[in-house]
C-alpha cells in the first residue's frame, strides 16, 4: 500500500512542480510589474508605496507623469517577458528550469496583454488610464483589445511546443501529462493567488488573477493537437528548490500587503 502511494505521488510530481512554478512565476511577474510603477513614480519624485498587487500614490504628479507611471508596469512586463521567452527558447536545454523560465516569460507577457484586454471595461486599470489620457475612443479601445486577444491566442498556442519535452510518467500519456502541465497549475494559481491577493483594494486588481490564467487553456488545446510528441523528461520527485522558492515568493508577496 505504501509503495502504491509512493508511485502515485511520483506520477503526480510533474503536476505538483507545475503548480509551484505557476505560483512562483506569477508572484515574481506581479511584483516586477508593480515595482515598475513604484520606481517610475520615485523617478518623478512622487511619494508612493509598493504593495503586493498595487501601488498607491501619496501625491499626484502631472497628467503626463501619472500616465507614464501607469504605462511603466505593462511595458516592463512586455520587455521582461519577451527577453525571458527568447532566452528560454533559444538557449536553455529542456529541464525543470526551462519549464520555469517558460512560465515566467509567458506570465510577464500575459500581464502586458491582459491589461490591454481589460482596458475597455477597466478605466482605472493601467492601460485604461493610458487610453483615457490620450483620448482613445471606446471603439478603438475595443479594437485594440480584440487584436491583442487574437495575438495572445496565437502566441500561447504556438508556445505549446515548449511543453513537449515533459511527461507525467514513464509510459507517456498525453492526456494525463496535459492535465498536470496545464490544468493543475491553472486551477492552483487562480485559487492560491486569489487568496493571497486579499485584502482587495480595487476590483480591477483581482481581474488579472481570476481571468488571465484561463488563456493557458489555449496552450493546452494546442498541446493536445500535437501529433506523437516524444517527451523524454520524467520528473519523479517534487523539487525542493521550487518549494523553497515558492514559499519565499509567497512570504514576500504577503509582506508587501
- CA 233-238-244 angle, to 5 degrees, is 125
pTM of the model: 0.94
- CA 249-157-214 angle, to 5 degrees, is 50
* 2 confidence band (pLDDT: 50, 70, 90): very low
Number of structural domains the chain divides into: 1
HEC letters along 189-231 = HHHHHHHHCCCCCCHHHHHHHHHHHHHHHHHHHHHHCCCCCCC
Q: How far apart are the first and last CA of the chain?
A: 44
- Examine the pLDDT at 35 and tell me if it is beyond 60: yes
**Boundaries of domain holding 179:** 2-255
> What mean pLDDT comes out for the span 230-239?
94
Give the per-residue pLDDT at 9.
66
Neighbouring CB atoms inside 10 A of 68's CB total 19
Give the per-residue pLDDT at 197.
87
- Examine the pLDDT at 6 and tell me if it is beyond 70: no
Using CA atoms, how far apart are residues 71 and 37, in angstroms rounded to an integer?
A: 8
In Å, how far are 91, 129, 153, 183, 196 from 114, measured between CA atoms? 27, 14, 12, 20, 20
Give the residue ranges of DSSP H helices in 44-168.
63-91, 96-117, 126-133, 138-158
* 203 confidence band (pLDDT: 50, 70, 90): low
> pLDDT tens across 85-97, in order?
999 999 999 999 9
Dmax (CA) for the chain in angstroms is 67
3-state DSSP assignment of residue 113:
helix
Give the per-residue pLDDT at 3.
42
- CA 200-205-211 angle, to 5 degrees, is 115
> What mean pLDDT comes out for the span 160-165?
98
Looking up cell 497549475, which residue turns up? 185
Looking at per-residue confidence, does 12 or 204 come out higher? 12
Give the per-residue pLDDT at 211.
81
Grid coordinates of 161: 511546443
Which range (14-23, 54-63, 190-199, 203-212) has the least confidence? 203-212
Exposed/middle/buried for residue 106 (C-beta within 10 Å: 0-12, 13-18, 19+):
buried
* pLDDT averaged over every residue in the chain: 93
Amino acid at each position: 500500500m505504501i509503495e502504491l502511494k509512493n508511485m502515485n505521488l511520483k506520477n503526480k510530481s510533474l503536476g505538483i512542480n507545475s503548480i509551484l512554478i505557476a505560483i512562483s512565476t506569477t508572484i515574481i511577474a506581479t511584483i516586477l510589474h508593480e515595482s515598475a510603477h513604484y520606481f517610475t513614480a520615485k523617478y518623478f519624485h512622487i511619494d508612493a508605496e509598493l504593495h503586493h498587487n498595487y501601488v498607491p500614490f501619496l501625491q499626484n504628479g502631472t497628467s503626463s507623469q501619472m500616465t507614464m507611471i501607469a504605462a511603466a508596469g505593462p511595458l516592463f512586463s512586455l520587455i521582461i517577458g519577451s527577453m525571458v521567452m527568447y532566452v528560454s527558447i533559444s538557449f536553455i536545454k529542456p529541464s525543470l528550469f526551462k519549464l520555469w523560465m517558460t512560465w515566467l516569460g509567458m506570465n510577464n507577457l500575459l500581464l502586458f496583454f491582459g491589461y490591454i484586454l481589460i482596458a475597455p471595461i477597466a478605466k482605472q486599470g493601467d492601460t485604461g488610464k493610458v487610453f483615457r489620457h490620450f483620448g482613445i475612443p471606446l471603439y478603438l479601445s475595443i479594437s485594440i483589445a480584440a487584436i491583442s486577444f487574437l495575438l495572445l491566442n496565437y502566441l500561447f498556442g504556438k508556445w505549446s511546443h515548449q511543453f513537449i519535452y515533459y511527461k507525467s510518467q514513464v509510459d507517456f500519456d498525453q492526456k494525463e501529462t496535459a492535465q498536470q502541465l496545464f490544468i493543475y497549475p491553472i486551477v492552483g494559481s487562480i485559487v492560491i493567488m486569489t487568496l493571497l491577493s486579499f485584502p482587495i483594494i480595487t476590483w480591477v486588481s483581482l481581474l488579472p488573477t481570476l481571468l488571465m490564467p484561463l488563456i493557458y487553456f489555449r496552450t493546452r488545446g494546442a498541446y493536445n493537437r500535437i501529433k506523437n510528441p516524444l517527451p523524454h523528461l520524467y520528473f519523479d520527485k517534487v523539487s525542493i528548490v521550487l518549494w523553497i522558492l515558492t514559499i519565499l515568493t509567497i512570504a514576500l508577496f504577503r509582506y508587501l500587503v
